[in-house]
Chain A
Amino acid sequence: MLSFAAVGTRVRIVPAVMCSAGLAILMAAPHAQSPREPSLALDTRPILAQRAPILDVAVAPDGARLIVLEPRRVSIRRWNPSGDASDVVEQRPVQTDRVWPRDLRGRVDASHLPFDVFLPGVTCRGDLDPLRVACVDETGSWPGLANSGVEAARNYFTTPEGRTFSSAAPLPSGAAARWLVADRQGSLLLFDDKRSPIARLAPTGDDVAGARASCGGGPFVVISSRAPRDAGDVDELRLFRVAGNELVPSSSPLRLPGILTALWDATAVVHDVAADRYEAFQISVSCAR
Chain B
Amino acid sequence: MTSRPIAMKLFRSAFLALANAAAIVAVASASRPHYGGTLRLETAGVIRSVDPAAPPADTAEAASRNHILPLVFETLTTVDSDLRLQPGLAASWESVGGRWRFRIRRGVSLHDGSVLQAWQAAASLRAANPSWAVDADGDVVVIDRAPMDLPWELARGRNAVAVRASNSALVGTGAFRVDRIDDRRIVLRAHDSYWNARPFLDAILIGMGAAPAEQLSSIERGETDLVDARPLDARRLAQRGLRWVSSRPRELIALVFEPHRATADQAVVRSALAAAIDRQTLAGALLQDRAAPAFALVPPWISGYAPLSGTMPAGVRAGVTALPAAQRSITIRVDAGDAVAQAIADRIVVDAREVGLAVAVQATSGLAPRPDVRIVRIPIEPSAPDRALAGAIAALGARVTGLAAADVSLPPGSGSDAVYRVEHALLEHQIIVPLVHLPDLYAIGDRVHAWNGPALQPTGALNLANVWIE
CA distance A246 to B17 in the complex (A): 8
Contact B197–A99 (Cβ < 8 Å): yes
Contacting B at CB under 8 A, from A168-204, are 176, 184-186, 190, 192, 194, 196-204
| Interface membership of B31, Cβ < 8 A | yes
| Interface membership of B308, Cβ < 8 A | no
Cβ–Cβ < 8 Å partners of B107 in chain A:
97
| Interface membership of A207, Cβ < 8 A | yes
Q: Which of A154, A184, A198, A260 has the most C-beta atoms of chain B within 10 angstroms of its own C-beta?
A: A198
**Which candidate, B8-16, B126-134, B396-404, is the interface stretch facing chain A?**
B8-16
| Interface membership of B32, Cβ < 8 A | yes
Cβ–Cβ < 8 Å partners of A176 in chain B:
10
* Contacts known (A153-B197, A199-B11); A225 close to B33, Cβ less than 8 A: no
Contact B10–A199 (Cβ < 8 Å): yes
Cβ–Cβ < 8 Å partners of A224 in chain B:
31-32
Cβ–Cβ < 8 Å partners of A198 in chain B:
7, 10-11, 14
Contact B3–A260 (Cβ < 8 Å): no
CA distance A153 to B197 in the complex (A): 7
* Contacts known (A185-B34, A201-B18, A245-B14); A101 close to B197, Cβ less than 8 A: yes
Contact A202–B18 (Cβ < 8 Å): yes
| Chain A proximity mask over B446-470: 1 for CB below 8 Å, otherwise 0 | 0000011100000000000110001
Of all chain B residues, the one with the shortest Cβ separation from A197 is B11
Cβ–Cβ < 8 Å partners of B22 in chain A:
202
Contact A102–B452 (Cβ < 8 Å): yes
Residue from B28, B35, B194, B453 in contact with A225 in the complex, judged by beta carbons closer than 8 Å: B28
Contact B14–A249 (Cβ < 8 Å): no
Cβ–Cβ < 8 Å partners of B243 in chain A:
229
| Interface membership of A79, Cβ < 8 A | no
Of all chain B residues, the one with the shortest Cβ separation from A184 is B34
CA distance A198 to B8 in the complex (A): 7
**Distance in Å: Cβ of A131 to nearest Cβ of chain B:** 28
| Chain B proximity mask over A135-175: 1 for CB below 8 Å, otherwise 0 | 00000000000000000011110000000001000000000
Residue from A197, A226, A229 in contact with B30 in the complex, judged by beta carbons closer than 8 Å: A226
| Interface membership of B29, Cβ < 8 A | yes
| Chain A proximity mask over B164-175: 1 for CB below 8 Å, otherwise 0 | 000000000000
Of all chain B residues, the one with the shortest Cβ separation from A227 is B28
* Contacts known (A201-B18, A203-B25, A247-B21); A103 close to B451, Cβ less than 8 A: yes
| Interface membership of A273, Cβ < 8 A | yes
Cβ–Cβ < 8 Å partners of B33 in chain A:
102-103, 155
Residue from B14, B28, B199, B451 in contact with A226 in the complex, judged by beta carbons closer than 8 Å: B28
| Interface membership of A100, Cβ < 8 A | yes
**Distance in Å: Cβ of A247 to nearest Cβ of chain B:** 7
Cβ–Cβ < 8 Å partners of B25 in chain A:
202-203, 247, 249
Of all chain B residues, the one with the shortest Cβ separation from A225 is B28
Cβ–Cβ < 8 Å partners of A245 in chain B:
10, 13-14, 17-18
| Interface membership of A107, Cβ < 8 A | no
* Contacts known (A102-B33, A226-B31); A153 close to B192, Cβ less than 8 A: yes
* Contacts known (A101-B198, A153-B192, A155-B33); A200 close to B11, Cβ less than 8 A: yes
| Interface membership of A67, Cβ < 8 A | no
CA distance A199 to B14 in the complex (A): 5
CA distance A224 to B28 in the complex (A): 9
| Interface membership of A209, Cβ < 8 A | no
Q: What is the size, in residues, of chain B's interface with A at 8 Å between Cβ atoms? A: 40
**Distance in Å: Cβ of A169 to nearest Cβ of chain B:** 15
* Contacts known (A153-B192, A273-B452); A246 close to B29, Cβ less than 8 A: no
Interface size class of A (residues with CB under 8 A): 35 or more
* Contacts known (A99-B195, A202-B21, A245-B10); A196 close to B30, Cβ less than 8 A: no
CA distance A235 to B30 in the complex (A): 9
CA distance A224 to B33 in the complex (A): 13
Contact A246–B28 (Cβ < 8 Å): no
Contact A102–B11 (Cβ < 8 Å): no
CA distance A203 to B452 in the complex (A): 24
CA distance A197 to B12 in the complex (A): 11
**Distance in Å: Cβ of B204 to nearest Cβ of chain A:** 16
Of all chain B residues, the one with the shortest Cβ separation from A196 is B7
Cβ–Cβ < 8 Å partners of A102 in chain B:
33, 197-200, 451-452, 465-466
| Interface membership of A205, Cβ < 8 A | yes
Cβ–Cβ < 8 Å partners of B18 in chain A:
199-202, 245-246
Residue from A194, A197, A204, A271 in contact with B452 in the complex, judged by beta carbons closer than 8 Å: A271
| Interface membership of B314, Cβ < 8 A | no
Cβ–Cβ < 8 Å partners of A225 in chain B:
28-31
| Interface membership of A109, Cβ < 8 A | no
* Contacts known (A206-B32, A224-B31); A153 close to B21, Cβ less than 8 A: no
| Interface membership of B196, Cβ < 8 A | yes
| Interface membership of B326, Cβ < 8 A | no
Cβ–Cβ < 8 Å partners of A226 in chain B:
28-31
Contact A200–B14 (Cβ < 8 Å): yes
Contact B198–A153 (Cβ < 8 Å): yes
CA distance A206 to B7 in the complex (A): 23
Contact B4–A202 (Cβ < 8 Å): no
On A, residues with C-beta under 8 Å from B are 97, 99-103, 153-156, 166, 176, 184-186, 190, 192, 194, 196-207, 224-229, 235-236, 245-249, 259-260, 271, 273
15 contacts between A and B (CB under 8 A): A99-B197, A102-B33, A102-B197, A103-B33, A176-B10, A185-B30, A186-B32, A199-B10, A199-B18, A203-B28, A205-B31, A207-B32, A245-B13, A246-B21, A259-B31
Known: A199-B10, A204-B28. 14 other contacts (CB 8 A): A100-B197, A102-B198, A102-B199, A103-B33, A103-B200, A185-B30, A196-B4, A196-B7, A224-B32, A225-B30, A226-B28, A245-B17, A246-B14, A247-B21
Closest 6 CB pairs of A and B: A186-B30, A199-B14, A206-B32, A225-B28, A202-B22, A245-B14
